[in-house]
Structure 1
């Protein structure tokens, strides 16, 4: 008899008690998610993560004592390290970009609906990137103004796109739309594992170090709008 999979362990860090209570309440109603700890600042988040070993850490960007940005590196230094997803608001795109550079798995707007929040936790636990559609466009615009992704050793953007197969190009377009692996799989009618393989190939062939950089490339080359 197959044993049931253990719940996804989540640590929630936000200095607003009301936000923590609301998010925790939503997640506790998902049968496969367990909120194992709540923190009011980044320092406490790191301390609790070392004890409770969460799979996913939902971390507010702006907190006293130690903000979410400063907490990313020590969280990722833990063994095992949680997947760190930043909780943000509109207009905080600069900090979101910093978080992604620090290694955060993605970002989620605080006012996302319950199902979007639950889906984001599941996606992060599965190794997927979490890119809230509500802020992805603004983040990509900031990156475009900053010059976009690396130049891959001088290779023009069109040359990098030419390295892709037809299917990989389709996946790149959907990355430009901010879709998750699950969403891409559903749209293309293929398995999530196959999508992960395609995403890995897209990142390698385009010289992108993250899904967001690949999304920027899709926009720069006109594949996505």
Structure 2
């Protein structure tokens, strides 16, 4: 696994209504990394307000919180600050929660029981532009995805036809996105500017009638633009 150079300037923000758990995460970060704790929010509403313009590198987001839960908080935060990296850190492994958290913008999902052994690795992966889903959770995610999309092999020809509206360059961009490559990585590979990549991505969204990168990638997988056997854990990277 490629490691990101740890730096005291790498900032982590915790969102959790359990003070004991937040304290434990803080202690773990201090013992096992050089990360700086930028702040702690005890509920989703406070998190949305504080992270709207916050300059932090990664957010550790609890899911089960009163009033504004973690999934809703992720959705609201990403709508305001779409470049923020969010790692869901929760005690719940329901497939629906995993799917919705990832769909709305989380770049990873791990359980609190995995914290001691996997948290730092998960943070590193997300900071490196990857998606972190332990195998058991990845399985649950794609079981939910298949359930929602339907297990029939029949493809809607109308929706498949929308791929034909993509230019060759837009198809190249979309295929790279399915490999979990960041916008900057796509720009480097295609020798174009990151601004141009974002323009292509916006065009892809409009032509495929989707709202975000994850939906576009799932669309490409379902309707045959890329091999469905690609590593699914990277698709929302």
- The bucket for the TM-score relative to the shorter chain is 0.5 to 0.7
Structure 1, residues 10-57: CA drift from partner, whole Å, max 9, x if none?
52224423334435777754xxxx532024x42585388279945564
C-alpha change, 1:113 and 1:51, in structure 2 (3 Å) is: closer
Structure 2: stretches of 5+ with no match in the other structure = 1-8, 151-155, 229-237
From 96, 101, 117, the equivalent of 2:123 is 117
1:177 is matched with: 179
Q: Is the 8 A contact 1:11 1:45 kept in 2?
A: no
Could you list the per-position Cα deviations for residues 76-135 of structure 1 after superposition, in whole angstroms to 9, with x for gaps in the alignment? 79x88994724247944421333356xx43232447675763573586xxxxxx743656
The residue number in structure 2 matching 1:127 is none
- Check whether the contact 2:26–2:37 (CA below 8 A) recurs between aligned residues: no
Q: For the Cα contact (< 8 Å) 1:68–1:86, is it kept in 2?
A: no
Structure 2 counterpart of 1:160: 162
- State the match for 1:126 in structure 2: none
Q: Secondary structure at the match of 1:170?
A: helix
How many pairs align?
A: 200
Q: Distance in 2 between matches of 1:138 and 1:146?
A: 12
- Separation (CA, whole Å) in 1 of partners of 2:178 and 2:122: 19
Q: Unaligned regions of 5+ residues in structure 1, if any? A: 1-6, 124-129, 149-153
Distance 1:133 1:201 in 2: 29
TM normalised by structure 2 equals 0.60
Distance 1:65 1:207, change over 3 A: closer
Q: CA RMSD in A?
A: 4.2
In the superposition, the TM-score normalised over structure 1's length comes to 0.63
Structure 2: distance between partners of 1:165 and 1:19: 46
CA drift at 1:209: 0.9
Task: Tell me, yes or no, if the aligned pair for 1:88 and 1:107 is still in contact at 8 Å.
Answer: no
| Secondary structure of 1:106's aligned partner | coil
Query: Alpha carbons of 1:38 and 1:25: their partners in 2 closer, same or farther (altered >3 Å)?
Result: farther
User: In structure 2, do the counterparts of structure 1 residues 210 and 217 end up closer, same or farther at CA, with 3 Å as the change threshold?
Assistant: same
What does residue 88 of structure 2 align with?
87
**Which sits farther off after the overlay, 51-60 or 176-185?**
51-60
Conservation of the 8 A alpha-carbon contact between 1:108 and 1:132: yes
Partner residue, 1:188: 190
- State how far apart, in whole Å, the 1-side matches of 2:171 and 2:76 are: 36
